[in-house]
Structure 1
Amino acid sequence: MFDQYEQASQISQRTAPESEQMTSSGYINMQLEDNTPMFSKQKMNFNPSDVITHVAVSSDFLVLAMANGKLFRLDLKMPDQHEEIHYAKFVQPNSKLSAIFLDPLGYHLLMAFSAKNKDSNPELVYLHRKSSKLKTVSKSRNYEVTEVGWNYENTNLYTTAPILLGTSQGHILETELEADSDKMFTASQQYWRQIFDIGKGNDTPITGIQFHRINKTSKYFIFVTTPKRLYQFIGHATFSDNKPSLQSIFYSYLTTPETGFQDIPSTLKYSKLQFFFDKSNNPKTFAWLTEPGIFYGQLDPTSQQNSNSLITQSELINYPPDKSGSKESTPLSFVLTEFHALLMYSDRVKAVSLLDQELVYEDSCSEVHGKLKNIVKDPVRKTIFAVTDNSVFRYKVNREERNVWRIYSDKEQFDLAKQYCHNNPAYIDIINVKQAELLFSKGDYDRSAEIYAETQSSFETVCLKFLQINKVNALKVYLTKRLEALDDDKTLISMIVIWMTELYLSQLGSLRHLGKGDSQEYHQLQSDFEIFLLQPKVVKCMQHIKSVVYDLMSSHGDRQNLIKLTVINEDFENVIAQNIYKKAYIEALNMLQSLKRPDLFYQFTPVLMEEIPKQTANVLIAQGQILSPSKLLPAFLTCENDELHVTEIIRYLEFMLQNFNVKDRAIHNYLLTLYAEHDQVSLMRYLARQGQELSLVNYDVHYALRLCREKGLSEACVKLSALLGLWESAAELALEVDLTLAKSVADMPDDVSLQRRLWLGIAEHVITKNQDIKEAMSLLEECPLIKIEDILPFFSDVVTIDHFREPICQSLQEYNNQIEELKAEMEEATKSAEYVRNEIQSFRNRSVLISVSDSCCLCSLALLLRPFYLFPCGHRFHSDCLLSEIRPQLAPARRNKLADLQRHLSVLTNIELATITSNGLPLREVLKNEIDDIVANECVFCGEHMISCIDKPFIADEDWDRVMKEWE
């Protein structure tokens, strides 16, 4: 019942604020507040045997000191198992327990005892987690320890590593304690030395001490507190066996006046120092409990601004006023979280925000549990425990950062506020609206517009705010940001694009009207406008509203931007057509050249070629391979057939043929047509370049021949007829043109008989024409294929033989030489036949001896075991081995034939095989002979097959694994 009462008494002091007055419209239905309590308390399910006097917790290990002189130890991971140790019998009877300290590992416990009277001394007792026997630290007899600074980098379970001790006289001691497992976990001191005296001889009790290393360097900082002062010591430690010695940090402070401290007047005899660590276990903030309030600050160990202090921001947080009538104004203890301080009084616990000093939580403690003794925080697990006389309570912190964003927003620290929104869109929108309104009120309109664009505020409302004060630039910033955020709202995108275009055009027009068309301001504005037009969303939107924007630019008389917009929109056809309509052909051609759009060239070249042929041809030549000449043919065909146009067309076509090797037949036929009609010299040069190979020419030869015949171009007809193989026709036509041309045509054919026939035709033409014997003799010298007897019939009967005496004698002499050559060839053939007969006769008498020890060259078994083949080269094979070897090497036809012969030999009966064939041999012998012709045609090692297989591997891929195993 009392526990239920305790839970009901936990109230949150910060009431849920009224709904924010939001100018946005996007998140009005979203719940902005988290109703879950920020702090909640739960009683631990164990009961100590007596009144609790002291508490310490670390790494889920809880230690309680009780009034009956016992220690209560509990592993919070195993709450059902606890241990009680009677510590009073290990200490002096006149000593009083003043404090207990547990290291971050939860393994090393120090118990500080003070003297009750002058006859006793203070004591410091050590207890290891795995031991139940306490051991007095011998050198601590003269020191009353009030605070311990643990080494947070220590990972050894049996030694504390170097630690600092603070005493009631203000002494700072450095020591290291070790639990020796061989001596029943008794403690041993590695060293003990006093390294500093804060009191300078006066009794100044140390109430807090913490030290930490800075970024894993040799540099350390030490915070020490007394009831009235906070000291900072910064310096480099010396290392021995990877253990730091902190004494060197204080060397520089021994000889200098005290300057590195914060002094806060107080009448209290106690204070308390707490640190908060970030996720990397580095100190982030600190808090010091004093009488006036909590001195709170941020820590930055890497800060270089002040080498004597690590505190970057600090303030004094006042204690919340007490409404219950309690006389306690100063907490007895406290713990520090990231954003709050939990203050412990004797009868209640309060949580104060560190950011705005507001009381956010208050919890009253029932008298049934007794007065609150202490509130502590596990430095490792971050859990919080409050201890009363006979109970232990655990405090749970639930999303303490939930309202941090609102506090930072109220402080106008908007970036920090957004960091703690956890991407909650409703919170972010509230922050952005507040930030935008603040910037607007301060006159930072551009930045305000950027922030407004990120909110859900009414579009019309924001636009009117900037229009009322005539801030066009800020309005453009807002519209630009809103445009970037839009995706599918085509209507709003179109409206923004048109509006911004109007704003830019108006500003540019105003500057031109004021004569600032060449100013830096104008050029910058023009550049911004061009960048705006190039945005992908604007380009996409322009496809639907370009007519509206064109009209808008025309109304402003901004022809320059109109042309640029057409380029951006790729609406070039419109501008070029307008220039042609205005007869501004050069401008249209220049724009066409700058665009390098083939489709537009094909569209507008007919008009431009007709009007300005030379300039158009120059531009077409400059485009090179970008344009296809075949697609420009319609433009060329529509031009007037005068000299100027034809010259430019020929110039372009010749350039394309010479530089890009165009082989389109239509282009070549068109060029040949122009040559035939206007330039016959170029025609013959073109035909010569194309060559005399019919398969290599690029024009239609039949079309060219027909065209040249129509134009009466005899010489061209001769070349084309020869190209088509019409040799007689070409030779006859050539004789009409020129004798030399006819002779060249007669030499062209590869067929000797055809050459002879053509030369005879030339000879007949020459002789019948003028009966010139000298010219006839010159033909005999030029062509050795015709003889004197071939041309004699062409002469008239009146010509006497005396005129041909010398050629006839020469011809007879040639015949005589040919006869002698034939005789020599016949004698050589007779000798070769005789040699062959002798060789055949010697083979008949040749024999080879086979030994019993001879083996097959393929299987290496005895040769005489089975039928075999013996080759003249000396290689020998079993018939079946040779058959298996030669079969894969045979062509498919011969392999099939071999299979048929073997099948006949096996299927036919002995009677059928004994049948005598037409050649006088039995059928069996005929089949075996045919099989031998296939199988034993040549030696498999010495024949052509071995030469053809020289590039093949000795071992096939599929046999490689088998061969490797055999070699192993």
Structure 2
Amino acid sequence: MTSVFDQFEQASQRSKQTVPPPICHDISSTGFIQMKLQDEIPIFIKQKVNFMPSDKILRICVSNNFIVIAMANNVLLRIDMKHPDKPEEIDITKYIGNLRLTGMFLDPLGQHLLMSTVPKQDDSSSPAETFYLHRKSTKLKQASKFRNHEITAVGWNYTNISETTSGPILLGTSKGLIFETEIGLDGDKIFTTSIEQYWRQLPNYLPLYVNKELEGLVFDIGKDSKPPITDIEFRRIPHTDKYIIILTTLIRIYQYIGTVTNHEEKPLFQQVFNKYLNIKERFNQLENSLPYSKMQFYYSSPQDFPKTFSWLTESGILFSQVDPKADSENILINQQMLPCPETSLLSSNMSRKKSIAPLSFVLTEFHVLLLYSDHVKGVSLLNQELIFEDIYNDAFGKLINITKDPITGSIWAFSERAVFKYKVTKEDRNVWQVYIEKGEFELAKHYCKDNPAHIDQVLVKQAEMLFQNKEYERSALIYADTHSSFEEISLKFLQENEIEALKTFLKKKLEGLKTQDKTQITMIVIWVVELFMNQMGSFRSMDTAYLQNSRYIKLQKEFDSFLATDKVEECVRKNRSTICNIMASHGDKDNLLRLTIMNRNYEEVIRQHLYKNNNLEALEVLKSQGNKELFYQFSGILLQELPKQTIAALISQGSSLKPSKLLPALVSCKCDEKHAKEIIRYLEHCIYEQSCQEQAIHNFLLSLYARYKKDEVMRYISSQGQDISMVHYDVHYALRLCQEANLTEACVQLSALLGLWSTAVDLALSVSVDLAKQIASIPSHHGNDELRKKLWLKIAEHVVREKNDIEQAMEFLQQCDLVRIEDILPFFSDFVTIDHFKEAICNSLQEYNRHIQDLKEEMQEATKAAETIRKDIQAFRTRCTFVHAKDTCNTCGTQLLLRPFYVFPCSHRFHSDCLVAALTPMLSIESQTQLADLQHQLTLISGRPDELAGISNQQQHTISADSGTSASLSTKEQIKADIDELVASECLYCGDLMIDSIDKPFIEEEDYERVMKEWA
């Protein structure tokens, strides 16, 4: 249940209700409905903190969700807002004594607290003191270096991220002095702190201030007047080495801008102040009779460069933007004075009778909250209107101050007995309306937050303003993006006779339509075409040389560009007759032709040319367009009328045309020698230039050769080769063509290609014997001697019987090594005497005699070789090898006689087990399996797997055979013999196995990765 005070506070808060600017269009025209289901939440909502102080509150500092409260009973209360139920109280009575707290400053991280004090009364024995308290400590540390200096302002280092040290900071005093120091913990111990991390004597060029009390001093703004510094802040200008230091006194704002060349030098900001030692500082001065002034900056985040600046004086709030790229000596631009409001949003009995200056204020992005002793007011920075007011009751005492957390942005106000928090909700909700009223439409659209209804209102207002300023085309572009009535906007431009603006509006509207809005697209396209026709028609009526008129040329280009867009092109294609009628009604033949080209209706154009016998024009249109199907469609007609030009056009298209699809047009042409010559030229181009392999094209070319160019038939057939699988024409069809054309020589080649050798030879004999010989020689390439002999005998029979030329028959025997005299004797008549071929018979008998003699010599050589081999075998049986005691195994290097061994004729020696181990990997899988099986059998029989004879069983067999004995081996001896056959048939180093293994890799594929890893 809320208390009476809470109910009163709720009733005492008022927020100005902003109403959207009136819209002059109905719902149907805009498409938006303005609905407000409930009252909007106020921008500023006050919440009382559940906190009861033990005494009057003097000061509050808030930073990074840490709150420090100083009370009149010398108690500091520290609260972590993440754990508000665990407050921490610190009694500072013993530190302060009879001093009065005048200032309390908390760094942005909430870790470092500075407290400045002065004597409660004019007591020279108690100088001003400064105390320091770290977040992790409960004991105040006295800053002896600042004794006698009342700290009135602290410029914190917003780039500092350390919790143990503050980084370089600036301190302003009540006498206008500026000190630079660094505060924080000293070492790792939390309670051992030292706030003076570094001090340096003042530079020699300020001898007036060289004393112990002024160590760390970097500047003095007073010199003579000693004005108190009320606020100070410094920032580094982004992406530069420049720093800006801004400080305020009661009546002035000072700006110091300088470059820091060495960031390690201490004091750091002495480099900034150096250039102001001999020149007069730049400042702004205002009349102010108040004993205080306040300075505030607004920034998106503490690390960002400030965006706006504000300063509270008696006259009001001095507000400006902060521009780091502005004049090098002044970054506070667009300064304006915001007067404190004198009106009230509450009832008249609560209004103030006398306007007084606010005690403090807080700056937000778009508003400023002004704190008075009993109420808070919120004023818009954009239009200076009072938008919020909150009246406080006397139960909690008078309001003291209002502050903002620099990290979280939360706003806190406190009175003598209570603490309040203000929640900011959608502060920029009505900013767009303010920017509309100021005419800043781009900013208004930015703050509409993508709300389509608000954006539409902004655009309407902007378009109306441009229309009133007679900027019709810009207005048309913006009107097209609104939901305003299409008819109303069109009539506005028509009434002003602004045809260009109307076209701009229509074209922009067309861009926003979807493809399914066919009716709207058609209407706009036809309207725009009509407007263009009217404009171009006026040029034609006024000037006969309108084609050279620059304005007409520009208009024509604009019209062509309009027709080339996708939506327009599709619409014109579907409404071609309507568009053509409009152009025809205006007598615009040029654009009619352009429309035909644009629609690519080349088929109709070509038909019209052919209908009028304008064949050359039709061919030119055909060549200029890109639809290849029209070539297939009209090539036949054009080829009949213009054979040479048409073939040239077809050849110019290259491989983009498929000859097979052109074949019907070529075949359908009524051929005479003139047409055939051009068709042959195109087919030869396809075959020899484009490497066409389609059989129909080759057959058609061969048919034209057979009819019109018979001399080319043999050249073509020869170019295709004698491999029937490689030719591209139909051989049977070609043979039939050549038979019909009586091309015997071609028939011979084709018959041979088909394998009809007898037919080919018979046909060749009808031409010439030489041709028949060429055909008969072809089978020699296929290794078919029997067929070749048969063909040669056919030629011989023809020579002997048909020509009765015995001398030619005898020469014939010299040309073929397969035909002999006895093969052709049956072809001679019975009356032919032996004298005609006596020489041939003698040559044949001599050949037989030489052959018999060669066989005898070969038999003698074979007998001698067998005798030599028999002697070598006998010598090998009696051969022996001596084994000495010092001989070693060629594999393991140990003495050979220690274990069973093998000795080979090449003198290599191996232990039997070493030989088996080395030879096994070289054997095939079958041999390895057989060897393992034999060893296993031998183990079962003898019980010793390594019992192998030292002398080869093959030698034993040889000896027994030589002595005439043929005793059969025992089972054990047979197994040993089989093992010897596998492992001792040849030397390991000299045998074929070693030679065969020369191409084997040292490392197998399956072991490659493992070996590489081991080597690595």
TM-score (norm 1): 0.85
The answer for unaligned runs of 5 or more in structure 2 is 200-214, 345-350, 938-966
Task: State yes or no: 1:733 paired with 2:755.
Answer: no
Decide which moves more: 521-530 or 384-393.
521-530
Corresponding residue number in structure 2 for 1:917 = none
C-alpha distance after superposition, 1:471-499 (max 9, x if no partner): 33333333333333333323323333343
Specify the alignment match of 1:376 in structure 2.
403
Residue from 588, 596, 609 that aligns with 1:579: 609
Correspondent of 2:315 among 292, 305, 311 = 292
| 1: CA distance, partners of 2:335 / 2:62 | 28
State the Cα distance separating 1:40 from its structure 2 match.
1.0
> Structure 1 residues 144 and 966, CA, compared in 2 at 3 Å: closer, same or farther?
closer
User: Would the alpha carbon gap of residues 938 and 474 (structure 1) be closer, same or farther in structure 2, given more than 3 Å must change?
Assistant: farther
| 2:299 matched residue in structure 1 | 277
From 204, 220, 223, give the equivalent of 2:227: 204
- From 93, 109, 129, the equivalent of 1:105 is 109
Could you say if the C-alpha distance between residues 188 and 647 of structure 1 is closer, same or farther in structure 2, counting changes exceeding 3 Å? Answer: closer
Specify the SS of the correspondent of 1:329.
Answer: coil
- With over 3 angstroms needed to count, the CA separation of the structure-2 counterparts of 1:962 and 1:775, relative to structure 1, is closer
Q: Which moved more, 1:648-657 or 1:838-847?
A: 838-847
Amino acid at match of 2:381: L
**Other-structure match for 1:470:** 497
Greater CA drift, 682-691 or 185-194 = 185-194
Instruction: Give the aligned residue type for 2:328.
Output: S
In the TM superposition, what is the alpha-carbon distance from 1:612 to its structure 2 partner?
A: 1.4
- What's the offset of the Cα at 1:571? 4.4
- Is 1:458 the counterpart of 2:461? The answer is no
Tell me which amino acid in the other structure corresponds to 2:659. Answer: P
Q: CA deviation at 1:315?
A: 1.0
Look up the match of 2:681.
651
Change (3 A) 1:34 1:283: farther
Shift of 1:616: 1.4
Equivalenced residues, count: 935
What is the rounded CA distance, in whole Å, between the counterparts of 1:29 and 1:19 in structure 2? 10
Tell me which residue corresponds to 2:695: 665
More divergent stretch after superposition (177-186 vs 128-137): 177-186
Q: Secondary structure at the match of 2:15?
A: coil
Alpha-carbon distance change, 72 to 183 in structure 1, aligned in 2, over 3 angstroms: closer
1:443 CA drift (Å): 2.3
Q: Which residue of 2 aligns with 1:493?
A: 521
Aligned mate of 2:506, from 475, 479, 484: 479
Contact 1:149/1:163, CA 8 A, preserved across alignment: yes
| Distance in 1 separating the partners of 2:691 and 2:739 | 28
Q: Give the match's secondary structure for 1:81.
A: strand
Structural mapping, 1:253-264, within 5 Å? 253-258=276-281, 260-264=282-286
Aligned position for 1:152: 158
Equivalent residue, structure 2, for 1:607: 637
SS of match in other structure, 1:53: strand
CA contact (8 A) 1:54 1:65 kept: yes
Deviation at 1:419, TM superposition (A): 1.8
Query: In structure 2, what is the equivalent of residue 820 of structure 1?
Result: 853
> Following the alignment from structure 2 to structure 1, what is the Cα–Cα distance between the partners of residues 918 and 107?
92
CA distance in 2, matches of 1:89, 1:864: 105
C-alpha separation in 1, matches of 2:776 and 2:33: 102
Task: Note if contact 2:232-2:248 (Cα within 8 Å) is conserved in structure 1.
Answer: yes
Cα shift at 1:343: 0.4
Aligned to 2:954: none
Deviates more, 1:450-459 or 1:574-583: 574-583
1:341 aligned counterpart, secondary structure = strand
Query: Matched residues in 2 for 1:966 and 1:400: separation?
Result: 70
- For 1:639-678, what per-residue CA distance to the aligned partner results, in whole angstroms no more than 9, with x for missing partners? 0121111111111111111123222222221111111111
Whether the aligned pair in 2 keeps the contact of 1:134 and 1:186 (CA below 8 Å) is: no
Change (3 A) 1:577 1:246: same
Residues 98, 114 of structure 1: 8 Å contact kept: no
Where in structure 2 are the equivalents of 1:131-146 lying within 5 Å? 131-146=137-152
Contact kept in structure 2, 1:112 and 1:146, CA below 8 Å:
no
Residue 59 in 1 paired to residue 75 in 2?
A: no
Paired residue secondary structure (1:204): coil
Q: What corresponds to 1:397 in structure 2?
A: 424
Contact kept, 8 Å, 1:209 with 1:225, in 2: the verdict is yes
1:913 is aligned to: none
Counterpart for residue 172 of structure 2: 166
Counterpart residue type for residue 341 of structure 2: P
Shift of 1:632: 1.6
Point out the more displaced range, 617-626 or 562-571. Answer: 562-571
| Equivalent residue number for residue 13 of structure 1 | 16
- Distance in 1 between residues matched to 2:599 and 2:442, nearest whole Å: 40
Q: CA RMSD in A?
A: 4.4
Whole-angstrom distance in 2 between the partners of 1:168 and 1:607: 107
> After the TM superposition, which of the residue ranges 445-454 and 118-127 deviates more from structure 2?
118-127
- Is 2:58 the counterpart of 1:28? no
Which of 285, 290, 295 is the matching residue for 1:268? 290
Match of 2:202 in 1: none
Going from structure 1 to structure 2, the CA distance change for 1:495 and 1:967 (only over 3 Å counts) comes to closer
Contact 1:266–1:290 under 8 Å retained in 2: yes
After the TM superposition, which of the residue ranges 270-279 and 789-798 deviates more from structure 2?
A: 789-798
SS of the aligned residue for 1:402 comes to coil
Residue equivalent to 1:48: 53
Identity of aligned residues (%): 48
In structure 2, which of residues 742, 748, 759 is the aligned counterpart of residue 718 of structure 1? Answer: 748
2:450 is matched with which residue? 423
Shift of 1:227: 2.6
Match of 2:620 among 584, 587, 590: 590
CA distance in 2 between partners of 1:558 and 1:838 (Å): 117
The C-alpha deviation readout for 1:874-922, integer Å capped at 9, x for no partner, is 998999999999784599xx99xx9xxx9xxxxxxxxxxxxxxxxxx99
Give the conservation status (yes or no) of the 8 Å contact 1:164–1:174: yes
Distance 1:499 1:863 in 2: 117
Question: Which amino acid counterpart does residue 546 of structure 2 have in structure 1?
Answer: K
Do 1:16 and 1:33's aligned partners in 2 also have CA atoms closer than 8 Å?
no
Counterpart in 1 of 2:332?
311
Per-residue CA distance 1:360-393 (angstroms, 9 max, x = gap) = 1000010111111111112222121111121111
Residues 101, 117 of structure 2: 8 Å contact kept: yes
Q: How does 1:75-114 map to 2 (within 5 A)?
A: 75-87=80-92, 89-91=94-96, 93=98, 96-106=100-110, 107-113=112-118
Aligned to 2:325: 302
Contact 1:238 1:244 in 2 (8 A): no
CA distance in 1 between partners of 2:194 and 2:820 (Å): 137
Q: Return closer, same or farther for 1:874/1:384 CA change in 2, 3 Å cut-off.
A: same
Q: 1:195 to 1:829 in 2, by over 3 A?
A: closer
Distance 1:597-1:832 versus aligned 2 partners, 3 A rule = farther
Q: Which amino acid aligns with 1:358?
A: E
Whether contact under 8 Å (2:116, 2:152) holds in the other structure is no
Q: Deviations over 1:777-830 (max 9, x none)?
A: 544454455455555665566665445554454444434333333332333344
Q: Is the 8 A contact 2:129 2:148 kept in 1?
A: no
Deviation string 1:518-552 (CA, Å, 9 cap, x unpaired) is 44444444444444444344455555444544555
Q: Deviations over 1:162-208 (max 9, x none)?
A: 43333344333444445556876465474334444434412433322
- Equivalent-residue separation in structure 2 for 1:25 and 1:771 (angstroms): 115
Question: Could you say which residue in structure 2 is the equivalent of 1:4?
Answer: 7
Q: Spell out the pairing of 1:184-195 with structure 2 (5 A cutoff).
A: 185=193, 187-188=195-196, 190-191=198-199, 192-195=215-218
Change (3 A) 1:409 1:946: farther
Question: CA, structure 1 residues 612+938, in 2 after alignment: closer, same or farther (shift >3 Å)?
Answer: farther
Q: What displacement does 1:745 show?
A: 2.6
Query: Are 2:670 and 1:640 aligned?
Result: yes
CA distances 1:666-698 after superposition (whole Å, capped 9, x unpaired): 222111111111111011211121222222222
Say if 1:440 and 1:448, in contact at 8 Å, map to a contact too: yes
Pair 206,652 (structure 1): closer, same or farther in 2 beyond 3 Å: same
Secondary structure at the counterpart of residue 657 of structure 1: helix
